[in-house]
Each structure stands twice: as C-alpha cells, then as structure tokens.
Amino acid sequence: MDSSGRCGATGVLFVRDVVTMPIGSAAHRHPRHAIVIASGGLDSTVLAYWLAARGAELTLLSVDYGQRHRVELEHATDIARLLNCPQEIIDLSALGRLLAGSALTDAEMSVPDGYYTDKSMRATVVPNRNAIMLDIAVAMAVARKADVVAFGAHAGDHAIYPDCRPEFVERFTRSVRTANEGLLVDEFEIVAPFLTQSKTDIVRLGAALGVPFERTWSCYRGEAEHCGTCGTCTERKEAFEQSGISDPTRYRAV
Ligand SMILES: [Zn+2]
C-alpha cells in the first residue's frame, strides 16, 4: 500500500520491515486475493492494511447479523473506501432474532462491563458466529477464485470465544477443503495471523502500517461514542496503553 492508501498497489512499501514480518502461517507467501472478514473493528482493519501492504488484492466482507453495534458496519465501509477496495455487506439481520440470549443480538440482554476473562463476558458470545461468517467468505472465495480468506481473531479472544482458537481454524480449514474439493484454488488457506498475538501487538503493527484507528469501531453498545467500559472497550483501551501508542478513541466514560 502506498501513501495514497491504494489497496493491492504495486508502489514502494513505506513500512517494508513491518509488512514482511513473519506472522503465523501467512509468513511463507503473499496472498494474491484475500476475502477479509471486516467488522469495522480494530483487529480486522489492521489485518486488511497488513494484507494490502503485502500486495494482496482485497475484498472486504461485512456481515449484518442483527448486532446491536451495527454502527461498526459503517466503519467497515469507511475502511473499504480508504483502502479503495470493494466491500460486500451481507444482510443476515434476521439471524439476530434467532440468537436470543446473546447480549450482542438480544435487546433484552444488557452488555456486561469488564474484562474478557470475566465470567459475565459469556453473555457476549454469538452462537457459531465465526463459522457462519467464514462459510460465507469461503463460498465467495470459491466463486471469485480467491486464494485466501482472512479474519482477525487474536489470542485475547481465546478465553471467551471458542471459535477464535487455533484448533477451530485448523479444523474448520480441513472441513471447507473437503466440502469444496476441486473447487477452491490449490493454494487456498484461511489466514488468521493474529491468533497468537495480543491486541497490544496488533495496535503496534497497525501504528506502523499507518492504520487510521480513529476510523475503527469496537464498542459492543453501539452508541454515539465508545462506552469505555464494556469488554471490547476495556481491551481496546488497555491495548493502546500497553503499546505506548496514542489512543484517538473518544470514550463516554473515562
Ligand atoms: Zn464499549
């Protein structure tokens, strides 16, 4: 990516040292075309910038699953515009009605405050969310002959979200290879380069890549500003503090 923010550009990389750093399984090659699950959040945005800097053509995939923080989708659209990449928004809003019991899709449930390691955070699990979104992304990869599906799960997610663990990605990849045998391009892989990285690592990488953090959205409450106290706001604040990178986010509660 060059200073104009072009995606998949062939221009000189101005963050060469960072973008060539080995992270996870993607270290051995540079993807040609990646379908990136893009929520508009910090992790998936850094992931998109990282892939763009590696020269990949990107298609951003955003999913409306009836989440209360639907505002994040506008941020994903913003990021797509900045990267000059196509974005597909899939409307699964009706799904939210079926997922009663999750604080992210059930208006009757309140969003808990605290840390991801807190038991109360189980209320923010959305049943089978990553498998649902990855399945759509893989189907797009088949149709468009993309060689990579990428998503931004990271080590801090493991405590609460079972579908953000390396064993899930490994087994899911085996499943989709079987389900789409002869249809996926040979070199196809699911890339989740942050699985063993902390959010602090992701913030540092994003800063080096020039990611516009202020254009990303994390808060589960989805109000006018980040609340500053829900699980993802807490993690976001901590990541900036620990990384030593200035946090441009406006939080309601300080
Ligand atoms: Zn929040």
* Position 171, amino acid: R
Kindly give the distance from the C-alpha atom of residue 99 to the centroid of ligand 1, in angstroms, as a whole number: 21
- Report the residue count for the chain: 254
Per-residue model confidence as pLDDT tens digits over 175-186 = 999 999 999 999
| Residue 210 belongs to some domain of the structure | yes
DSSP 39-60: -SSHHHHHHHHHHHHTT-EEEE
| Residue 130 belongs to some domain of the structure | yes
| Residue 123 belongs to some domain of the structure | yes
| Residue 249 belongs to some domain of the structure | no
89: containing domain = 30-243
pLDDT exceeds cutoff 80 at 77: yes
Reading the block at residue 188, the tokens are: 């196809």
Kindly give the distance from the C-alpha atom of residue 228 to the centroid of ligand 1, in angstroms, as a whole number: 5
pLDDT of residue 254: 59
pLDDT of residue 16: 43
Per-residue model confidence as pLDDT tens digits over 143-193 = 999 999 999 998 877 777 888 889 999 999 999 999 999 999 999 999 999
* Position 183, amino acid: L
Kindly give the distance from the C-alpha atom of residue 231 to the centroid of ligand 1, in angstroms, as a whole number: 7
Per-residue model confidence as pLDDT tens digits over 18-57 = 444 545 444 547 899 999 999 999 999 999 999 999 999 9
Please check whether residue 220 is in contact with residue 111, taking contact to mean a CB–CB distance below 8 angstroms. yes
Kindly give the distance from the C-alpha atom of residue 220 to the centroid of ligand 1, in angstroms, as a whole number: 5
| Residue 230 belongs to some domain of the structure | yes
| Residue 229 belongs to some domain of the structure | yes
Neighbouring residues of 251: CB distance < 8 A, sequence distance ≥ 6 = 225, 226, 227, 228, 233, 237
Kindly give the distance from the C-alpha atom of residue 235 to the centroid of ligand 1, in angstroms, as a whole number: 10
Reading the block at residue 241, the tokens are: 């503090």
Kindly give the distance from the C-alpha atom of residue 78 to the centroid of ligand 1, in angstroms, as a whole number: 20
pLDDT exceeds cutoff 50 at 9: no
Kindly give the distance from the C-alpha atom of residue 149 to the centroid of ligand 1, in angstroms, as a whole number: 28
* Position 230, amino acid: C
Tell which wins on pLDDT, 3 or 145.
145
| Residue 217 belongs to some domain of the structure | yes
Residue 234 DSSP SS3: helix
Mean per-residue pLDDT, 245-251: 96
Full-model pTM? 0.87
- Looking up residue 72, the CATH number of its domain turns out to be 3.40.50.620
Q: Which residues pair with 230 in a beta bridge?
A: 113
Please check whether residue 86 is in contact with residue 7, taking contact to mean a CB–CB distance below 8 angstroms. no
Domain count, the chain: 1
